[in-house]
Each structure stands twice: as C-alpha cells, then as structure tokens.
C-alpha cells in the first residue's frame, strides 16, 4: 500500500516597479498582472476553496481473497427488534433505514411513509402527509428523507412528481416543524455535514443531455440555503452512456466520518465529507479484471460496452463503500455469470496488513449463525452512529 499526495500548484504573482523610461509598457504589464491576479481571485472565490487531494492505493485482486469464520472477524453479535404489532406499523417495503439518537427511521417507498420507532423498537409516530400537499398519483408525496442529527430534524424531500421547491422539516416525534428552502438546483442527493451545513451533489443527468461533458458539482449551503462553497472535485467524463446506474451510490455512507462518492466506470472512490481534504481510494486491479486503458477516454464507445459483455470478470466500478474504523467495506461490480453478485462484497483492512476478506465467505460460527448482510442487491450498512441503509432493487 502506498500513499501519494497531490497538491494544486500555487499561483505566484510578480510585483513590478515601473521605471521612467518604460513607464507605459511596464504600466500595461502591471495592469496585466493585476488583471491576472483579479481573475485568479474571482476564480478562486467562485470555486470555493483549494482542495487538497490525497490518494490511497489499494491493491485489489478479486481472485485473491480470504474467508474466515465469524469468530475470527467479529468481536460480538447482538440483536434487537422493531415491533410491527399495531395497525400503525403496516410496512409494505423497507427502502431505507436509519438509527439515530435512540430513534429508528424507516422509509416505506410503496406507501411513501416514514415510520419512526424508539430504540427499544416501539412505534413512535409516522410521517405520511406533507403540509398542504394532497398527492394524486404515486411518487408525489414523499420521495426520501435524511436525518439532521445535530439539530434533530427529519428532512423530507417531496415526491418526484411534486413541483414543490421546499423540503419539510419534522422533529423526531413526527411533528411538522418548518419548511426549508430547496437550493436552486436540479434533483440533488444531499447530506448534512458535521458543521450543520448541507452538502448537495448535483445530479449530472440534465447536464449530460445538454452537453457531451458531465460536470459533477458539490454545493454546500448553510442552514438558510445560502451558498457557502462550491466544490468541483470530480473529474469530467466525456460520455454518459453506461450499463449500470450508479446514481444511488452517491453519498453511500453518512456517519459524519466518511461520505463516499463513486463514479461511472472508475476505480476511484472519494471520501468527500471533508471537502477541503478529499481522500480517494484508488483500486489497482490485475489486468484481467481491469478496464483496458484504450477505453479510458472513450467510455461511450460500442466497443467498450461489447468488451464488458464479453469479459464478465472485468470490474466496472465500486459501490456500497463504508469505512468502519480500519475496515473498508465495498462491493465490486462485474458482469460475471459465474460469480453471484453477492460474492463481490469485500472487506479490506486499512491497518497495513492488506487483508482482503470476502464477506460472502465468512462462515457461521458460535458467535453468529447468520451473515445475511450481503445479498445480491441488499447490504448493510451502518457505522458507529447506528445507521442502516439498504436498497432493494
């Protein structure tokens, strides 16, 4: 394992003292330098802050992994319950779960309802109506939610077919609190940063339709949705065509210690929570599993898609990335017909031992007979703050 540091070149400005003979020429030169300085200042203020980038290379060979018994990799396993024994707790489908501050939040995306339970599993309340909204069709009521842990809010995003330009804030007992302005951007995935600001990822879909380039933006707003910073830490891709949608994998973890961003057909995963110091994990794969370099700048080519279909072992990218202490959990995407998707879930130890553990190959033992964490499309995941997050495809 090696660590590389990337730095952004400093902009240095030369100070000139005009002499009498060449005063006009030097004056113009000075003016030019001042213009450059002013432009640089404007550019920097627009971009926000200079971003330090750090890369951690991970040698990942999908065929060289370890299995283990649950005893060998776990300290303990315990269980608790969420009780569904009242008429208020008829859940049709669990799309998203979070546990925070002694509360459990479950979003049912069929009924478009957010259920709230206490940490002991008892029903507390549910959010099923947004003030002033009378949904007429599915996907008009509630689209999703996030938790603002510091201020103890459930922030609810209205449905896809709802034209509202606001979010709705509820307190943990399900009571409506206030309306939060929505930033003037297209559909955006967002999180709450440790400082209480909102960090948005701007969906590139609309941009892609307009242009051959996709620009990824991270926009940080304060609690009043005033723009605080505009980060642009991602590379610009030259294509949009793709086999799989990775949209749901953006902001995969929200434990305030790491929020990961994954990219299309990329072996880089960036931890973007601390936008001023983005840590990127760069997976180095054997050639057999890698995207050939000839496709590096030509990822929308038909030949590129055909290559993937013919070479099932090639890794498309990474998803479901979570860092828990020294353990990095992730899922590798392949087209392999021989390997079930569930076998592509791994744990990589970041403590220097370079241990690569296949989560599918953790064997039941006395400590736990059940390791159902990693299905085809289901997974964990949570971290210290007690956060569960699953998707069912």
Partner 1 sequence: MVLFTYFLPSEIDNIIHQPNNKASAYLKSLLRDNLISHGQCILVGKYHFRDDL
Residues found near partner 1 in the complex (CB under 8 A): 73-85, 94, 97, 99, 104, 121, 322, 324-327, 329, 347, 349, 351, 353, 355, 357, 364, 367-370, 372-373, 379-384, 386-388, 390
Cβ closer to partner 1: 292 or 325? 325
Cβ closer to partner 1: 198 or 360? 360
Bridge partners, 301 (sequence order)? none
**Tokens representing residue 251 in the block:** 């902001």
Min CB(364)–partner 1 separation in Å: 8
Cβ closer to partner 1: 94 or 239? 94
Place of tokens 């736990």: 368
Cβ closer to partner 1: 65 or 168? 65
Indicate the SS3 state at residue 271: strand
Place of tokens 């505009």: 230
Cβ closer to partner 1: 255 or 263? 255
Cβ closer to partner 1: 251 or 387? 387
**Tokens representing residue 149 in the block:** 């842990």
Min CB(115)–partner 1 separation in Å: 10
Cβ closer to partner 1: 14 or 75? 75
Min CB(312)–partner 1 separation in Å: 28
Min CB(75)–partner 1 separation in Å: 4
User: Does residue 98 come out as left (phi exceeding 0), alpha (psi in the -120 to 50 range) or beta?
Assistant: beta
Min CB(118)–partner 1 separation in Å: 13
Min CB(171)–partner 1 separation in Å: 23
CA 136 from centre of chain: 31
CA distance 16 to 115: 66
Structural contact between residues 229 and 48, judged by C-beta atoms closer than 8 angstroms:
yes
CA distance 144 to 155: 9
Min CB(147)–partner 1 separation in Å: 15
Taking the CA atoms of 376, 271, 195 and 185 in sequence, report the sign of the dihedral they define: negative
Cβ closer to partner 1: 158 or 379? 379
Min CB(98)–partner 1 separation in Å: 10
Work out the angle at residue 348's Cα, subtended by the Cα atoms of residues 346 and 353, and round it to the nearest 5 degrees. 145
**Dihedrals φ, ψ of 73, to 5°?**
-115, -10
Count of beta carbons in the 10 Å neighbourhood of residue 192:
20
Q: Which positions ≥6 away from 182 have C-beta within 8 Å?
A: 164, 165, 166, 167, 225
Place of tokens 């005033």: 226
**Tokens representing residue 376 in the block:** 């085809």
Place of tokens 């828990």: 324
Cβ closer to partner 1: 171 or 373? 373
Min CB(203)–partner 1 separation in Å: 28
Structural contact between residues 285 and 341, judged by C-beta atoms closer than 8 angstroms:
no
CA distance 14 to 23: 17
Structural contact between residues 56 and 67, judged by C-beta atoms closer than 8 angstroms:
no
């Amino acid at each position: 394992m090696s660590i590389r540091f990337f730095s952004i070149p400093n902009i240095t400005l030369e100070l000139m003292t005009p002499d009498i003979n060449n005063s006009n020429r030097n004056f113009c030169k000075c003016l030019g330098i001042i213009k450059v300085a002013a432009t640089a200042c404007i550019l920097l203020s627009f971009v926000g802050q200079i971003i330090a980038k750090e890369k951690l290379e991970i040698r990942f060979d999908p065929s060289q992994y370890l299995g283990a018994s649950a005893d060998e990799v776990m300290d303990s396993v315990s269980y608790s319950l969420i009780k569904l024994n009242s008429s208020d707790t008829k859940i049709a489908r669990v799309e998203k779960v979070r546990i925070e501050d002694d509360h459990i939040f479950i979003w049912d995306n069929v009924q478009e309802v957010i259920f709230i339970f206490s940490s002991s599993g008892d029903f507390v309340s549910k959010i099923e109506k947004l003030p002033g909204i009378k949904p007429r069709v599915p996907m008009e009521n509630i689209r999703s939610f996030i938790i603002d842990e510091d201020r103890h809010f459930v922030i609810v995003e209205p449905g896809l077919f709802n034209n509202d330009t606001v979010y709705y804030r509820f307190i943990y007992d399900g009571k409506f609190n206030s309306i939060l302005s929505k930033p003037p951007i297209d559909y955006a995935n967002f999180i709450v940063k440790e400082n209480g600001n909102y960090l948005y990822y701007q969906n590139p879909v609309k941009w892609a339709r307009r242009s051959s380039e996709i620009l990824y933006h991270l926009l940080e707003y304060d609690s009043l949705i005033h723009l605080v910073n505009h980060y642009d830490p991602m590379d610009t891709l030259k294509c949009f065509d793709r086999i799989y949608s990775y949209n749901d994998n953006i902001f995969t973890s929200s434990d305030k210690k790491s929020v990961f961003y994954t990219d299309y057909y990329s072996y880089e995963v960036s931890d973007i929570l601390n936008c001023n110091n983005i840590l990127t994990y760069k997976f180095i794969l054997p050639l057999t599993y890698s995207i050939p370099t000839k496709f590096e700048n030509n990822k929308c080519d038909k030949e590129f898609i055909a290559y993937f279909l013919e070479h099932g072992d090639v890794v498309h990218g990474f998803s479901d990335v979570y860092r828990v202490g020294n353990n990095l959990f992730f899922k590798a995407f392949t087209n392999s017909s021989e390997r079930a998707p569930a076998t592509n879930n791994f744990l990589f130890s970041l403590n220097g031992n370079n241990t690569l553990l296949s989560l599918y190959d953790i064997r039941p033992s006395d400590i736990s007979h059940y390791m159902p964490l990693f299905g085809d499309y289901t997974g964990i995941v949570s971290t210290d703050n007690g956060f569960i997050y699953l998707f069912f495809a």
